Copies of this chain bind each other. A is one copy, B any other.
Amino acid sequence: MKQTSFAEMRCSVARALDQVGSWWSLLIIRDAMMGARRFKDFESSLGIAKNTLTNRLKELLDNGILKQVEPENGSKYLDYELTEKGRDLAPIIMTLAQWGDKWSVHEDGPSFELRNKRSDEEISRLWPRDHDGTAIDLADVMLSREGRNGQETRTIAPEAGGLNDD
């Protein structure tokens, strides 16, 4: 699926992508977050070829994103479960879902809803914020990174607006 390893790149985005593995892997992680635990759960949710699924699951185990645990139902196969590192991918899945619902909505309407279990309120878009929780305009977000030509600093979306302009 992927011709080049991004692991040796200094950039954290590239390193995150390398650890996750592939598009399919993100959907496997999404399904694990939705309670899939067994090979058959992932297979039936994704409609994916068995050997592709086997390879993707192995990669996620090797990278410490999934782990194998005793099965819940006495099956002879081990179940798959997200590790702490895997659960911590939730903000990535959520930002993808929120973007998809905004820009590529299905004819039947949005497919995702995120709610706070305690208040039953819908959860806002994941967005850059100050430590006090105030949303920041994208135009005010400065990103510094180690690029091929040393340290680079940039306003990432100079023409963009704030959370409420959406």
Contact = CB atoms under 8 A, between A and B. Distances in A.
Contact of A30 (B3, B11, B100, B110): B11
A99 B138 contact: no
B134 A133 contact: yes
B91 A125 contact: yes
B135 A133 contact: yes
Q: Which of A2, A134, A145 has the most CB of B within 10 A?
A: A145
Contact of A96 (B16, B145, B152): B16
Nearest to A6: B23
A36 to B, nearest CB: 10
Contact of A12 (B17, B18, B100): B100
Copies of this chain? 2
A142 B166 contact: no
Interface in A101-122: 101-106, 108, 110-119, 121
Interface residues of A, number: 94
A140 interface: yes
A72 interface: no
Given A44-B148, A130-B123, A116 B136 contact: yes
A10 interface: yes
Interface string A122-159: 01111111111111101011111111100010111101
A16 B94 CA distance: 11
29 contacts: A1-B1, A4-B48, A10-B108, A11-B100, A12-B96, A12-B100, A12-B105, A13-B27, A13-B100, A13-B112, A15-B104, A16-B100, A23-B23, A33-B154, A34-B156, A35-B152, A87-B159, A88-B103, A90-B156, A90-B160, A91-B99, A92-B95, A92-B96, A95-B126, A97-B143, A108-B146, A112-B143, A118-B140, A129-B133
